Structure 1
Amino acid sequence: MLNIIRIEWLKVKNYRTFWILLILAVIVIPASNTIVADVVSRIPKQATDILGRNFYDFPVAWQTVANVNSFTSIIFGLLLVTLVTNEFTYKTHRQLVIDGWERLDLVLSKIFWVVALALLALVVSFITAIVFGMIYSTAPFSFEGVQFLFFYFLQVLVSLSIALMLGMFIKRSGLATVIYLGYAMIFEQLLTVGLKHSVGAIGGLLPLQAGDELLPFPVVDKVLPSSSDYSHGVYEITIILYIALFIGLTCRRMLKADY
């Protein structure tokens, strides 16, 4: 596995597009929370008194950061699509097989990026939540509610799994990117609305929507009823099953494809 990681590092260390997208993905996490915190600071005190607390007060700071970051996780998916499709554009995967790699090694190299990027998103979000909580919170530090970052981690994982599968099956960077963006930003949203209206709660069990159901904006439940139809456990299991399905399909494709 260490050799796989070393080879993957050699692929990206001088790849400018990778570093630009990676830096953007990391910066956008605290940047988006800065915007939200600035907007929240302008809310009249009477309104915050009704809601009960500031959105960046502990312990709700964990949930706020997770919710805000869930809207930016698509950038990590774009990065993964680029990495996967480059393997086919530059025939890197074929050269590695010629050099002695097993097909399983190719599978592990892509799963490595799924896990690595999701962990990076989690770590940056964790640090962001602590920093913003320390700056804006009037309550003492607390780990209560930190599970929302785990929910965010699951959402990033399923988003990356979709990106991995699309990149592997489509192979062309431009087309895979358009389909990934179209699904994440438009198609699943329309499908969710349609299913919820025609079938019911099952519409909330689509891959990305299940993550959204786990990450409602905090405090809002004081003025609006919850939109979640199932328990957290149902959504967590659903997301894990989707991750297993998408990675399983990707592995089957990589192991059976004619290179």
Structure 2
Amino acid sequence: MKQIILAEWLKLKYYRTFWVILILSVIIPIAGNYTVAEIFSSKDLKQAQFLLGGPFSFPDVWQTVACVSSFVSGLYGILLIVIVTNEYNFRTNRQNIIDGWERKDFVFAKLFWVMKLAVLSLVVVAIVGALLGMAYGSKSFTFEGFNFVFYYFLQVVVQLIIALLIAVFVSRPGLSIVIYFAYNMMIEQTLVTILKRSVGAIGGLLPLQAGDELLPFPGTKMLAQSMPGGTTTYDTYVYLIAMVVYITLGIWLVFRKVTRTDL
């Protein structure tokens, strides 16, 4: 496994596009959360703070930062698509097989990136949440509510598995990114809207929406449910199970594709 990880590192060590997207994936969530914190700290939004509580005070800051970061978590998926499709473009996947790798080693190498990027996202959100809570909050530090950071972590993993699936099945970088963007920005949201209108809360169990259901902005979920015709939702564990199922299914499909078709 060490050889696989080393080989993956050597492939990307001097790849400028990789570093640019990686840096943006870290900077944009930080900048986004800082901007939202600045807006909520202004005098013009005192009424909103009264209605929503203190979104940047502990413990709500964990949920706030996870929610805001979830809007740009797709950047990690783009990075993974670049990593995977480069293997097909430059035929390095075939060369690895010639050099003695098994096909499953190729999948393990990409799952390594899935976990590494997901852990990076978790660390970034945890640090940002802690710093903003201390800088903009009015309550003492606490890990209460930190579970929302783990919900965000799972959502990022789902995003990355979707990106991995698309990259492996399409294998062309431009088209893969377009399909990934289309699914994230339009296709799933359209399906969620249709399903919620026709069959109810089951629409919230689609891959990315399951994570969104667990990461509402503090206070907005209760406000939405208290309004006439407010939407119903499942218990937290249902969405967690759904995400784990999607992750497991996605990994199985990737293994099946890589081990049964020509690289």
TM-score, normalization by structure 1: 0.97
CA drift at 1:227: 4.2
Q: 2:172 & 2:34 partners in 1: Cα distance?
A: 36
Q: 1:247 aligned to 2:251?
A: yes
User: 2:40: which partner in 1?
Assistant: 40
**Mapped partners of 1:143, 1:115: distance in 2:** 23
Q: Give the match for residue 193 of structure 1.
A: 193
CA distance in 1, matches of 2:9, 2:16: 13
Q: Are 1:144 and 2:163 matched, yes or no?
A: no
1:228–1:155 distance in 2 versus 1, CA, 3 Å: farther
Deviations 1:38-97 (A, max 9, x none): 21112443442343x321000000000000000010000000011111100000000010
Q: Distance in 1 between matches of 2:190 and 2:26?
A: 29
Q: 1:110 and 2:81 equivalent?
A: no
Q: Conserved in 1, the CA contact under 8 Å of 2:85 and 2:172? A: yes
Aligned residue number for residue 184 of structure 1: 184
* 1:207-250 CA distance string (max 9 Å, x none): 00000001010022453327451000000000000011111100
- Cα distance change on mapping 1:221 and 1:184 into 2, 3 Å: closer
CA distance in 2, matches of 1:150, 1:84: 26
RMSD: 1.2
- Aligned residue pairs, count: 258
The 3-state SS of whatever aligns with 1:224 is helix
CA distance in 1, matches of 2:222, 2:252: 41
SS of structure 2 residue aligned to 1:223: helix
Q: What is residue 159 of structure 1 aligned with on the other side?
A: 159
**Shift in CA distance, 147/188, structure 1 to aligned 2, threshold 3 Å:** same
> What's the counterpart of residue 96 of structure 2?
96
Could you tell me which residue of structure 2 aligns to residue 49 of structure 1?
Answer: 50
Change (3 A) 1:222 1:165: closer
Aligned amino acid, residue 48 of structure 1:
Q
TM-score, normalisation: structure 2: 0.95
> Which residue does 2:220 correspond to in 1?
220
- 1:11 maps to which residue? 11
Same amino acid, percent of matched pairs: 51
Name the CA distance, whole Å, in 2 between partners of 1:29 and 1:134: 18
For 2:248, give the aligned amino acid.
Answer: A
CA distance in 2, matches of 1:87, 1:122: 27
Are residues 2 and 228 of structure 1, via their aligned partners in 2, closer, same or farther at CA, if it must alter by over 3 Å? farther
Structure 2 equivalent of residue 126 of structure 1: 126
**Judging changes above 3 Å, is the alpha-carbon distance between structure 1 residues 155 and 132 closer, same or farther for their aligned structure 2 residues?**
same
Task: Give distance in 1, aligned partners of 2:212 and 2:222.
Answer: 18
**Are residues 139 and 13 of structure 1, via their aligned partners in 2, closer, same or farther at CA, if it must alter by over 3 Å?**
same
Do 2:80 and 2:114's aligned partners in 1 also have CA atoms closer than 8 Å?
yes
Q: Which of the numbers 241, 251, 256 marks the counterpart of 1:237?
A: 241
Aligned equivalents of 1:62, 1:39: Cα separation in 2: 17
Gaps of 5+ in 2: none
Q: d(CA) in 2 for partners of 1:24 and 1:47?
A: 30
| Pair 1:136–1:93, CA change in 2 (3 A) | same
CA 1:222 to 1:231, structure 2 compared with 1: closer, same or farther past 3 Å? closer
